[in-house]
A = this chain, B = another copy of it.
Amino acid sequence: MASDQIRITPWEAEAFVDYDRLLKVFGAKPLTEYEIELLRSITKDVHFMLRRRVFYSHRDFDVFLQSYIKGMKTALYTGRGPSGHTHLGHILPWIFTRWLQEKLNIDLFFQMTDDEKFWHEEGQSIELTNSYAYENVLDLIALGFDEKRTHILIDTEDIRYLYPIAVRVAKKITFSTQRSAFGFTESTNIGMIFYPSLQIAMAFLPSELYGEPTYVLIPAGIDQDPYWRIARDIAPSMGYPKPTQIHSKLLPGLGPGGKMSASKPETAIYTTDPPEVAAKKVLRAYTGGQPTAELQRKLGGNPDVCSVFKMFEMLFEEDDKKLQERYLACRTGALLCGECKAVLAERVARFLRDHQLKREKARDRIEKFLLRTKFDPPPLRSCIMKR
């Protein structure tokens, strides 16, 4: 399939990809000033990830915002496949999602797909992915999500919430649909084949828990888009509003290519990394610099292919003016990679020290964030959906 050629599925994704081409392949719309102004009419200010198009494309984000403005029921939904500890690539969309939650003052439904990660990874144990789900919850809490408005569901333990909906979703999806959307083969296990019905069901769960059609916005990496295309196809026949999306680019790792990924831990910064270890990873990062300081002063560096500059742009420099100064200083050769990396290393270490303190304090608060402590499962027979 076409999207294979640019290697974007939920399980394999480059960074520094041609995001414009991705839009065309996936059929999503680029984020424009129209949607951003609509959001600004509600939120007053606009998050730097929008200004800089870290979140850069969408499906019906405008419809979601109009529904919100009209006073319809709305909710946020995102999730995490807990295959290990959280790294900065994971928390990028969460930081934006937390901001949205605060500005819109609406609920976030968060899915921990410990079953999916168990199914996907050979040799992985379900006990381990389930443990990581709880570890990852600590990061969500540390980022400041609102405990009253954040409802975390863990697939293996909360399946009774999803199953009444997933059963109906599963009937509407054939193996051949999956094959083309996800690149499944004859040797894919039947857990993986069934799994999309759970990720899609979660998009419809808010409607069932609230008992009214709910407009759901999903802020997530563009690599998750195949799920939402199917979800949007089947939503009308089930009586739900189509879930809407806002897609982020993928944070590059600190190496020469690819998204930040657990498969290359030396180029990924984990929230559990000791700050000094993380700082060292930054100091060893791949940059857009010249081979020597002399050449760099003469020719300037290239921030557009630099993993260090991307970290500033996508996470660690909220001030547009300062980011622009850094960009120009690099381009003109005024800023050497060593100095630039030292600044980032210090910011990363500072972030981690603060985050890790909050993360430890979060251990007593996990229960308050779990969906199961706040909602009853949707009854099988009185779902609002069409049959």
Contacts and interface: CB of A to CB of B under 8 A. Distances in A.
A127 B164 CA distance: 10
Contacts of A387: 125-127
A387 B171 CA distance: 30
A176 B184 CA distance: 12
A121 B85 CA distance: 43
Closest 4 CB pairs of A and B: A170-B191, A194-B194, A176-B186, A159-B163
Contacts of A171: 118-119, 189, 191
B164 A187 contact: no
Contact of A196 (B186, B190, B196, B197): B190
Contacts of A14: none
A381 interface: yes
A164 B158 CA distance: 11
5 contacts: A126-B387, A127-B381, A156-B164, A174-B187, A193-B194
Nearest to A154: B380
Contact of A157 (B130, B156, B380): B380
Interface in A245-299: none
A154 to B, nearest CB: 9
Interface residues of A, number: 39
Contacts of A232: none
Contact of A194 (B160, B184, B186, B191): B191
Contacts of A196: 190
Interface in A106-159: 115, 118-119, 125-127, 130, 156-157, 159
**How many copies of the chain does the oligomer comprise?**
2
Given A126-B387, A156-B163, A179-B186, 16 more contacts: A119-B170, A126-B167, A127-B380, A130-B380, A160-B160, A163-B163, A172-B189, A174-B188, A174-B190, A175-B186, A175-B189, A176-B187, A178-B190, A193-B193, A193-B194, A194-B194
A199 B160 CA distance: 17
Interface in A196-215: 196-197
Contacts of A173: 189-190
Nearest to A172: B189
A170 B115 CA distance: 10
Contacts of A127: 380-381, 387
A53 interface: no
Contacts of A188: 174-175
A347 interface: no
A353 interface: no
A73 interface: no
A168 interface: yes
Contacts of A167: 115, 118-119, 126, 156, 191
A134 to B, nearest CB: 11
Contacts of A130: 380-381
Nearest to A128: B387
Nearest to A168: B126
